[in-house]
Amino acid sequence: MSAADRRDATSGVDTTGHEWDGIRELNNPLPKWWLYIFYASIAWAVVYWIVMPAWPLASTYTKGLLGYSQREAVLADRDEALAERAAHGAPLLKVTPEQISKDSGLLEFALANGKAAFGDNCAGCHGAGGGGARGFPNLQDDDWLHGGSIDEILRTIRVGVRSTSPETLGGVSMPAFGRDGSLKRDEIENVAAFVRTLSSLAPAPTADVAAGGRIFATRCASCHGAKGEGNREMGAPRLNDAIWLYGSDQKAIVETLATGRAGVMPAWESKLDEATLRSLAVYVRSLGGAQ
């Protein structure tokens, strides 16, 4: 094909000689600005490979002339943040948790620090505002399994409930009366109906409330109290109020009696510094359910 044949008559630009269905490809050169950027990118990549960590090896990677480590940089930033937070939190360690709430300056810092720590560590279970969910206690009400004073809240946060801490709270888990066969299905239904009456709820019409009350007296009252008043030392909840962790309907109570309950809260004493633990206690108490 001659040079004249390769030239496009309309644009006056040579073609590449390629043709598809009568359409010929023009041989337009790339813009110089695009080529310069392309060449600069290649040069930058080569320099980056040399000075920065880049190429994976069998068990490590090339370190680069600068020896930069993103992991070390992150750890350094973390240590700096922890040191700064520790400096700000130091005054919290010089007073009792109760005194923190009486000092406006300390209280302001503790609430801000506690809210941030709560969002990072506690909100996943208790909700962003502490409202709780099924199986996770509401921290805004006045019903506390292990005490609602600031010292009791701090103790709960510190050692957890049925956690790995040797000082953990919670004691013995609630038995699974149905699963272990110690109560029959109809007996469980009767106890559930009686438990509903403790908080003035209507019992299931087919249940024998009196029989359920007798079983409750022999099998449940030792933990929950004869009138369902609960026992903080054992972590046994009250059954005569309107606050229910797993639900107050007949089906939910039967499930609780049949399968048992053994909620776990981790111990935070080994995960958070003392100032943060105190800040959390102050913040939780401020949510509205303090005693």
Q: Left if phi > 0, otherwise alpha if psi is -120 to 50, otherwise beta: which for 96?
A: beta
Q: Which residues are CB-contacts of 185 (< 8 A; sequence separation ≥ 6)?
A: 178
Domains, the chain: 71-169+265-286 (1.10.760.10), 185-259 (1.10.760.10)
The answer to whether the beta carbons of residues 140 and 131 sit under 8 Å apart is: yes
- Cα 224 from chain centroid? 30
174 has binding-site annotation: yes
The answer to whether the beta carbons of residues 55 and 62 sit under 8 Å apart is: yes
234 has binding-site annotation: no
The pLDDT assigned to 289 comes to: 64
DSSP state of 92: G
Which pLDDT tens digits describe the chain residue by residue (291 residues)? 565 567 777 777 888 878 788 788 888 888 999 999 999 999 999 999 999 998 899 888 899 999 899 889 999 998 998 888 888 889 999 999 889 988 999 999 999 999 999 999 999 999 999 999 999 999 998 889 898 999 999 999 999 999 999 999 987 789 999 999 999 999 999 999 999 999 999 999 999 999 999 999 999 999 999 999 999 888 899 999 999 999 999 999 999 999 999 889 999 999 999 999 999 999 999 997 656
Note every long-range contact of 165-172, with CB atoms under 8 Å and residues 24 or more positions apart, other chains counting.
Answer: 165/267, 165/269, 168/267, 169/235, 170/235, 170/263, 170/264, 171/233, 171/234, 171/235, 172/234
CA dihedral over 163, 165, 170, 174, signed as positive or negative: positive
Q: What is the pLDDT of residues 124-156, one digit of tens each?
A: 999 999 999 999 999 998 889 898 999 999 999
The pLDDT assigned to 258 comes to: 96
126 has binding-site annotation: yes
